[in-house]
Structure 1
Amino acid sequence: MKKLATPVFNELELFDACTAEMDDATRKTFTASRADIQAAAEEFSAHSSTWSWCDLPRARHGHKEDIIAGELSKGVLMDLYDENVVKSKGHPRNIYDQILVAAQGQCPYCAGIGSARTLDHYLPKAKFPALSVHPYNLVPACRDCNTDAGAGFPTSQDLQPIHPYLDKDCFFLERWIHAEVVHCEQVVVRFFANPPIHWPIIDQQRAKQHFEDCDLRNRFSNQVAGELTPLIRQRKSSLAVFSSDQFRAHLLTVAEETSLLLNGWKRTMYLALSESHWFCSANFNEDLSPY
């Protein structure tokens, strides 16, 4: 996963930008409820310090008429994002766009496989409507990750997805996604989650759950053929002069490239290739193809 810097906007800046564009009567209702939105933001911050977002109070399923903050109902707070941020042509949309562009087009949930084209609510607005326009709850995401997340959120800490802004450094600075090369007629690279054993059990489970939720096993594997085909072609031609040890060193150069995400598919794949004695010493003039 990709670590993102927290948005430069404070917790109520987007809320205030939305209210500034409302008519006087509507603005009065939102302004009167601002203290309750502030309280929800402070509670979010407190739970962020312990990575326990699952314990935040939730709105009931459906029941858009339920009052959530001050005079504001669940439905009104959900519409605040859709109508006053996404559809805005003013400052709220400008804030939205700045949060989105900060990801540089790479979805942080799937380590950049997908293009981040929209903002995802880390905590779904249907469950946590008071946080519907909290900048730290809006994460750039690709369509697949946004869709797969759905409108639910786990009720136990060990199943929470990794938060690109606020989560523990270990998810971004330590390797927990690995791969293996399978010796068969095709070059098969299999990806799997294997967090370090010194991590707390909760964090190990969270990493494994994130791997499953984002379907990284299949999505990473889908990237393999496009990279392996030219690599094998090079091994047959310009890299044919390399011994197996020299070829292994070549693969390690890519696996250690710090500009690539540590737990991204490419570094993970090249490390697995470098660790495969069969791959490094294979005769690629035989009929081998990547998968």
Structure 2
Amino acid sequence: MKKLTAPAFQELDIFDACADEMDNGARTIFTASRLDIQAAAYAFSAQSGTQAWCHLPRARHGHREDIIAGGLSKGDLMDLYDKGVIGSKGRPRDIHDQILVAAQGQCPYCAGIGTARTLDHYLPKAKFPALSVHPHNLVPACRDCNTDAGAGFPAAPELQPIHPYLDKDCFFLERWVYAEVIRCEPVAIRFFANPPGHWPAVDQQRARQHFADCGLKDRFSSQVAGEISPLILQRKSSLAVFSSAQFKAHLHVVAADHHLLLNGWKRTMYLALYENDWFCSADFNGNWLAS
């Protein structure tokens, strides 16, 4: 939904920084397992080339005692993030905070509706523990998107959520979120996913699935009232001198604003208003629903 620049940190920077803060015994075990963590990072990179992360090997549900990489168990690697990164007062936490701040507070999964206050494991650490501190697996997210993602990850390519760092440009540069104006009191907007027909079927389904999984139909709609009510008030007052064509042009200014996300709620809403002849011609005085 919103493209983010991938963190500039190397694959094992956080892993190594965590190891540096451990006591000698734990550091020895983690250092001895480093090549296996590196192999998992290589596999992640390989699948990122085709956006096929769902094909990576998964850990069993539960079973924290299962050995995942070298001498490290699933529990060790999950705790590496919770204790070694979140609980750190040194470089691991500093890297975490740099990744979080880079989103400038906007959650990329929901196109900035939510405030990014946490890092989401795109591939959940419970399923992919060897990637628990891989910088490209840590994505700034709002609590709603992070919570909705849960601890699972789809097994089919067409159900994978959009990756803000590593996914295809089409998800960010082509329009696939649309809206329609509902002629009622108050005016409502219905948002929906409609990916371009020239996209591969797997990408079309991924877009629809991401839209559904993040609850964007309702979350986008919840933003409308605070924007459209003042707009209608302006149309009835300071913009009342505008002809329908002039009001349409006024709406187009926002609809064409490249500073707004192409598939974000605000630009999508203004595009729908601009394209709706009834909304452009209504003066919103008297019996405007029948006009």
Q: Which TM-score band applies after superposition, normalised by the shorter structure?
A: over 0.9
Instruction: Report how far residue 29 of structure 1 moved.
Output: 0.2
Give 1:190's aligned amino acid: R
CA distance in structure 1 between the aligned counterparts of 2:170 and 2:283, rounded to whole angstroms: 39
CA contact (8 A) 1:186 1:288 kept: no
Corresponding residue number in structure 2 for 1:17? 17
Question: Which residue of 1 is the match for residue 144 of structure 2?
Answer: 144
Give the conservation status (yes or no) of the 8 Å contact 2:282–2:288: no
RMSD over aligned CA atoms reads 1.0
Q: Deviations over 1:127-162 (max 9, x none)?
A: 000000000000000000000000000000000000
Specify the code of the residue in structure 2 equivalent to 1:181: V
Distance 1:15 1:271, change over 3 A: same
The CA distance in 2 between the partners of 1:15 and 1:195, in whole Å, is 38
Identify the residue that residue 56 of structure 1 maps to in structure 2. 56
Map of 1:153 onto structure 2: 153
Q: CA deviation at 1:185?
A: 3.4
Superposition map of 1:1-291 within 5 A: 1-286=1-286
Could you give the per-residue CA deviations for residues 56-88 of structure 1, whole angstroms, max 9, x where no partner exists? 000000000000000000000000000000111
Cα gap change, 1:90/1:288 in structure 2, threshold over 3 Å: closer, same or farther?
farther
Instruction: Decide which moves more: 228-237 or 157-166.
Output: 228-237
Matched letter for residue 147 of structure 1: T
Any conservation in 2 of the 1:54–1:155 contact (CA below 8 Å)? yes
- In the aligned structure 2, how far is the partner of 1:80 from the partner of 1:217? 36
Structure 2: gaps (5+ residues): none
Inter-partner Cα distance in structure 1 for 2:280 and 2:134: 50
CA contact (8 A) 2:235 2:283 kept: no
The answer to which of 142-151 and 180-189 deviates more is: 180-189
Q: Deviations over 1:190-230 (max 9, x none)?
A: 00000000000000000000000000000000000000111
Partner Cα distance (1:272, 1:10) in 2 = 43
What's the secondary structure of 1:6's corresponding residue?
coil
Contact 1:64 1:74 in 2 (8 A): yes
Distance across 2 between alignment mates of 1:288 and 1:9: 57
Task: Supply the distance in 2 between the matched residues of 1:63 and 1:126 (Cα, whole angstroms).
Answer: 10
Q: Distance in 2 between matches of 1:228 and 1:188?
A: 9
Distance 2:5 2:13 in 1: 17
The secondary structure found in structure 1 opposite 2:180 is strand
What are the superposed Cα offsets for residues 16-63 of structure 1, whole Å, 9 maximum, x if unpaired? Answer: 000000001100000000000000000000000010000000000000
Alpha-carbon distance change, 228 to 287 in structure 1, aligned in 2, over 3 angstroms: farther
Q: CA deviation at 1:188?
A: 1.4
- Worse-matched range after superposition: 230-239 or 99-108: 230-239
Do 1:187 and 1:288's aligned partners in 2 also have CA atoms closer than 8 Å? no
**Superposition deviation, residue 288 in structure 1:** 6.8
Percentage identity across aligned positions? 75
Matched residue SS, 2:89: coil
Aligned to 2:187, what secondary structure does the other structure show? strand
* 2:193–2:208 Cα contact (<8 Å) kept: yes
| Structure 2 CA distance for partners of 1:64 and 1:243, relative to 1, 3 Å | same
TM-score scaled by length of structure 2: 0.98
State how many pairs are aligned.
289
Q: CA deviation at 1:283?
A: 2.3
